[in-house]
Structure 1
Amino acid sequence: MLDKNYFHFLKQLIALEEDEENEEIREEFTKLSPQERELRGKALLGLVLEEKHFSPANHELATFGRQHQKPLPLFSLETGDVVSLLPESLNDVVFPIGTVYEKTSATITVAFNKGLPPWLVKGSFYQLHKSVNRVTYKRMAEALDAVFETRNTRLADFRDISLKEKSPSFEKNSNDKIAWFDESLNASQKEAVRKSLEARDIFLVHGPPGTGKTTALVEIIRQSIRKKLSVFVTAPSNTACDNVLERLVKTGLNVIRLGHPARIALPLREHTLDFKLALHPLSHQIHDCQSNLNRLFKREDRYREKRSPGPDAKRQVRSQIEELKDEIRRLRKEIFSCVMKEAEVIVGTPTSIQDKSMREKPFDVLVIDEATQATEPVTWIPMTRAKKVIMAGDHFQLPPTVRSKEAEEKGLGITLFERFYEILDPDFRQILERQYRMNEQIMGFSSMEFYNNLLVADESVKSQTLSGLQGVTACADTIEPFVYIDTSGKGFEEKLEAGSESRYSPEEAVLVLGELKKMLEAGVPPKEIAVISPYSAQVRFLATQAAACLPAGRDPGIEIDSVDGFQGREKELVIVSLVRSNMEGEMGFLADTRRMNVAMTRARRKLIVIGDSATLSSIKFYADFIKYAERIGGYKSVWEL
């Protein structure tokens, strides 16, 4: 039985996690040369400054590239990464922290909150290194302290429900007929919306792959706004936040996206708070004040150097400076107030609710999407400011990433969604049953193993195959929706990548590329294909080999990614390379079957899984998967190809 001390225990676990992340960074800098860090996608070297400029929201930007406009490495720093800027020729300087704002094949742009360093000039060489963002750890600890200490608040109610000291409830006499914004919602989606609106405290929306979880959440949000309730929508990643934001914007709602514009998808940046503030009619007055302020600062410096004119003139300049500062503060406050009043819903990552501009603002409804990808301490951050919480996710897909083995073993990977799912009465959760993504053969094993056979493929997708796509030749390869290719007995032994713990299989990669070529020759569009693997070493190997051997060249539009990186995505054709093949039957993190659930539910029309049954069958789940493939006629041995 848990008690309040559990939250002190969680603080200890996040301290372990922070220590582990710091140790990883230290170890990388100690063990790996800058060149090796660049190969791992943790750094960019030999950069030259191309341009200093400003974003529309007034962030100072620096754009870097390689000499002679050479392309940047294929696997590298990404938009939103926190980075340190290092000069290659200077020592003993403070390395400024920035955020990757934008990236092309040949350039990378970084935003610096505290301004550009004076030593950043053209003609020199620079490095960018991935860094640690410590703000999240600080805000998690603060949230857990608040949960522990609070009394007689909504946060205290949420805490007590999580400790089974209190039960949640529904509003009494709330049988109001709902006027649906989206009439196409199915029965389980409508039930999730209805119960979410009636719940007073907590409600869980369980959304298996392809079941329209985001569609249901958008309806919940719109219905809440209709009731004049303030709504904050959050998700643990910027990508997930952008996904909800995009859907909300399409409904015509006035949405504000919190967070650094650099971490937000380019087409959606116009909805960020920074951009809306910058575009407000009063913002030009702030620019005028800043220009006048800069002139007064220069005048004050001249007075200080020349010791003239007299003290009265100096006091007058100082007084004017303070007046302008006050005016800027007043204008910013007025603009912020106007922009926030016009907003119907606010979207941001869990930590963004604690930004200075949002401090102390409560929300009637907190909607947490992808709640099963956030650790419990992260989830409590936005809950400190909510009156009601709707969580959506799927605890049978990948859990949050936990670096510290000790913290994971002690339970940091168990989400608050999972805990509520176990302790709440079933009335306070709703599974979405109809799925709109996969052919029913692709869906079948996942439904059977994880969802009590509750999933039903919608008529629009249940029989779809690649042969139904325009320009695709109808043949055996494009008509069958599900294939497992067994490499057993071929000697495709896995290998350990030098300098890492990740594994790859060159022979299996050749087989993957062979299947890929067949699909391309049958007319499957490259942009509708994904090749995924649980192992990053296999992803890197496949990407290198694909660039060398595919006729379309380096970038044919095919996505090659890790299973973890592809969660939440989908393609018409997905090829899964499982890699593990060893005499001992060792499975590594494939033993977490949730990873396989993600892998096999990304495909809409065809799923190809490649692996060694002799190794895989050491775990019952995979043995059952292979039996399922045999039962539906989807099993092939590599010896038959």
Structure 2
Amino acid sequence: MSLLFDHVIGQFELDEAALYAATGEDLEESGPVVPARPVAEFADDHVSLSHPDEEWTCIPLHGDDSAVPTGSFVAFTDHSIRGPIFVFERDGERDFLDADDFGATRLADRIRFWHSDFVPETYPPTYDSPIDDSEPPRNPTGGALVEDLLEHVERERTATRDENRERTARRSATAIYDEGGDAVPELRPVGADGDGEYRFRVEVPEHLENRRDGDWAYFVESEFGIYEGNEVLVRRADGFDDSPFPIEATVKRIRGLNLWVTVDWADVDGATNVGNELSNGDETYGLTALLNPVPFDRERSAIEELRDHPFQAVLAGERPITFTNGAAARSDPFDDELNQEQQLAVEHALLADDLLCIHGPPGTGKTRTLVEIVRRAVQAGESVLVCADSNQAVDNLLAGASTTDDPDPRSLHAYGQHGDDEFTLDRVNEGQSANDVVSRGYSDVPGRAEVVAATNNSAATLAREFDLLVLDEATQSTCTASCIPLTRAKRIVLAGDHRQLPPYSASEEPPDSNYGHSLFEHLYADGGVYDGVGLQLQTQYRMHRDIAYFPNRQFYDRTLRNGRSIDALPDRPAIEGYNVGGRVETVEHSKANPTEARLVAHVVSELLDDVPADEIGVITPYTAQVARIREVLGDAVASADRITVDTIDSFQGGERTAIVLSLVRSNGDGDVGFLGRPTDGPRRLNVALTRAKRYCAIVADWHTLRYDADGKCTDLYDEFYQFFENTDRLNVVDPEFIPI
């Protein structure tokens, strides 16, 4: 299943074709087994391939070593007695083979090029590239691009500050620190300097006193997440803030355990008394983060640079996008196992003079494709900057599943100085990485690296220009954040999936403009500045076909093909729903459903008979439900500490053999909260459903979800419910009978 097969189906005339007459040689075993059933399943979706008189799907045959159709076909049918079979003629009679047996024959070789994994040397003469050499803009933005970007930065700065203030209200610095937040639990005032700075000394928590052997350099930054330049709130250490506390301040200096702040006195009542108290009082204080201005300042600087950068015209749609670069001609393919769409994406990325967008849905091999682009660009003599919005996403492309002794061949690490030594690879701020391979292997990189990996934000520290920027997970980076690496490169490749979660925003409301969305969406997605500047990887290798069925139809317009057959778990469907009601608790700003947590634990306990604990994932939209499920699992399952339990947002990009999803919301009013928000509710559900390989369970109160009071996502959840009902995969559960 490929762009090529799509093209051939469009050209195929069934009434002019004939059922193939096979010979004995045709039915002999051949080389690699052809995934014939996925080809047939894809063909089955096309009415034009349905035989007028038989219950057949007719699959065109191509030549022995060419993708040019021959005018003959084989037929596929799911026979009521024999099961899935392929039909052909033999000795003047109809004959057939079991679908799996057929895939091993020479005859199956003549449908192999319809599957993306097999790449022909000769294409049909009518087949053409999906991307033109020159693509004009379709939706120019007008002349206010830079000003609009700057305005968005300031809106996000204000929204982030307000969100942090609200999130930490009425909570002590100790509580915030204990939950992993950025806060110093306790400090004592030392005195005031003449220039208006107030000095404090950090009281080291007892459990950390012996950790540093008296060396406190960068301790405050690494342990508490507080840095010079941060806007902070100074508050009573006991958490009982009385007016005018908490007060806003800015961290001016940090030296070991000492830090100096300046106070914004504009909104402080009794400033003189408070100043005296901060200078020499006996009371201890806590300090919580309000805003780190560095990312916003870096975005502003990059946007100002954009005024005179060639990409300003691209982002505004002021000129056409062209594909004439010579990097494709100056390099040779490395990875001969890339499928057709992946190879096409690589070629066009190397041809792009300005940009290419690669839409990579789950399991379609986006990372592998990007690694090939980088390798070939370096071979062509280009320098490459590799970026993503988070350290984790950068390290996924850089190191993947590599260990110190075994480089992951799907990662850049395998081809840098620690692997095949094709190029020198560097990582900016490697110390910020949680990946041991990265933090240990890239602390001392010799010379000027051909490939540099960095977060979008850290790219601001680079004082060089690159020939090519590869921006991974580009749909999770705002336009403004993407401008930082963008201004460091001559041309760019954006890769991501705009049908999954959008960039994080501090504002609860949808962005006022496209600049709160990703650069990928701004340039390429529906309504973007350009049209034909990207392509989609369409063959997924992760999920059982039944798991992929609903997301493919609901979120990807049926464009995904199943690249291989994946077995479900024994004695259970690949995907099933559980319908259960339950009381929902509000925990601070989050939600928990104890009944669903019990049912999740029960489902997990049964899964452990067939799936290792570390191959099970439990995901939910709410942090409070994460905590509740961990608690219940810890009591019910011996191996609970090996089971990943996390929010959907945190699990984007991850995968497990089995996934259990808890949707939490249960009430008589149809109140589904942000699950019904049209801007990201469907995208969050898509993320959740596409993490599983062999099994996916959805635990929910389907009455609540289907009768959303606002009606914004009612159709989505109702169609999902009908999918379970119509396929007999819905389990109705009485909470009284959950055995946990």
Q: Which residue of 2 aligns with 1:452?
A: 557
Q: Is 1:261 paired with 2:261?
A: no
Q: 1:236 Cα deviation (Å)?
A: 0.5
Aligned partners of 2:338 and 2:659: how far apart in 1?
28
Aligned partners of 1:584 and 1:170: how far apart in 2?
54
Q: Which residue of 1 aligns with 2:636?
A: 549
Equivalent residue for 1:585, pick from 666, 670, 673: 670
Aligned partners of 2:700 and 2:487: how far apart in 1?
46
AA matched with 1:516 = V
Closer, same or farther: CA 415–54 of 1 in aligned 2, 3 Å: farther
On the 8 A contact 1:368/1:389 being kept in 2, the answer is yes
SS state at 1:396 partner: coil
Q: Is 1:408 paired with 2:497?
A: no
AA matched with 1:481 = A
The range that moved more, 394-403 or 405-414, is 405-414
Aligned partners of 2:600 and 2:439: how far apart in 1?
38
Q: 1:132 Cα deviation (Å)?
A: 3.6
Which protein is richer in helix relative to its size? 1
Considering Cα pairs closer than 8 Å and 6+ residues apart, tell me whether 1 or 2 has the greater RCO. Answer: 1
Aligned partners of 2:214 and 2:533: how far apart in 1?
48
Equivalent residue for 1:603, pick from 688, 692, 699: 692
Give the aligned length: 517
Q: Which residue of 2 aligns with 1:280?
A: none
Identity score, percent: 30
Q: What are the superposed Cα offsets for residues 249-270 of structure 1, whole Å, 9 maximum, x if unpaired?
A: 1223421000251344233113
* TM, length-normalised to structure 2: 0.64
Q: 1:377 Cα deviation (Å)?
A: 0.3
AA matched with 1:563 = I
Task: Provide the alpha-carbon RMSD of the alignment.
Answer: 3.6
On the 8 A contact 1:258/1:347 being kept in 2, the answer is yes
Within 5 Å, give how 1:217-616 maps onto structure 2.
Answer: 217-246=370-399, 247-251=411-415, 252=419, 253-259=423-429, 261-272=431-442, 275-276=443-444, 339-341=446-448, 343-355=449-461, 358-359=462-463, 361-405=464-508, 408-422=511-525, 423=528, 426-459=531-564, 462-467=565-570, 476-477=571-572, 480-487=573-580, 490=581, 492-497=582-587, 499-500=588-589, 502-520=590-608, 522-552=609-639, 555-591=640-676, 592-616=681-705
Aligned partners of 1:638 and 1:601: how far apart in 2?
24
On the 8 A contact 2:232/2:287 being kept in 1, the answer is yes
Aligned partners of 2:227 and 2:622: how far apart in 1?
23
Closer, same or farther: CA 406–129 of 1 in aligned 2, 3 Å: same
Q: What are the superposed Cα offsets for residues 609-634 of structure 1, whole Å, 9 maximum, x if unpaired?
A: 11112122231111111222234442
Q: Is 1:630 paired with 2:725?
A: yes
Closer, same or farther: CA 145–78 of 1 in aligned 2, 3 Å: closer
On the 8 A contact 1:218/1:248 being kept in 2, the answer is yes
Aligned partners of 2:715 and 2:169: how far apart in 1?
41
The range that moved more, 510-519 or 34-43, is 34-43
Q: Which residue of 2 aligns with 1:105?
A: none
On the 8 A contact 1:52/1:60 being kept in 2, the answer is no
SS state at 1:276 partner: coil
Q: What are the superposed Cα offsets for residues 124-173 of structure 1, whole Å, 9 maximum, x if unpaired?
A: x99785564321100111112222x31xxxx33x2222222211001078
Q: Rg larger in 1 or in 2?
A: 2
Q: What are the superposed Cα offsets for residues 534-588 of structure 1, whole Å, 9 maximum, x if unpaired?
A: 1111111112222233233xx5300110000000000111000001122221222
Closer, same or farther: CA 175–38 of 1 in aligned 2, 3 Å: closer
On the 8 A contact 2:317/2:530 being kept in 1, the answer is no
On the 8 A contact 1:53/1:60 being kept in 2, the answer is no
Q: Which residue of 2 aligns with 1:195?
A: 348
SS state at 2:695 partner: strand
AA matched with 1:387 = K
SS state at 1:216 partner: helix
Task: Flag structure 2 segments of 5+ consecutive residues without an equivalent.
Answer: 1-139, 186-204, 239-247, 261-283, 400-410, 708-713
Aligned partners of 1:448 and 1:539: how far apart in 2?
29
Aligned partners of 2:430 and 2:314: how far apart in 1?
34
The range that moved more, 251-260 or 572-581, is 251-260
Closer, same or farther: CA 96–145 of 1 in aligned 2, 3 Å: closer
AA matched with 2:150 = K
Closer, same or farther: CA 231–79 of 1 in aligned 2, 3 Å: farther
On the 8 A contact 1:367/1:389 being kept in 2, the answer is yes
AA matched with 1:567 = Q
Task: Flag structure 1 segments of 5+ consecutive residues without an equivalent.
Answer: 66-75, 99-112, 278-338, 468-475
Closer, same or farther: CA 175–504 of 1 in aligned 2, 3 Å: closer
Aligned partners of 2:226 and 2:732: how far apart in 1?
42
Closer, same or farther: CA 174–266 of 1 in aligned 2, 3 Å: closer
SS state at 1:193 partner: helix
Aligned partners of 2:731 and 2:231: how far apart in 1?
47
Q: What are the superposed Cα offsets for residues 14-60 of structure 1, whole Å, 9 maximum, x if unpaired?
A: 212212222333344542123542464325754432233699xxx94
On the 8 A contact 1:438/1:605 being kept in 2, the answer is yes
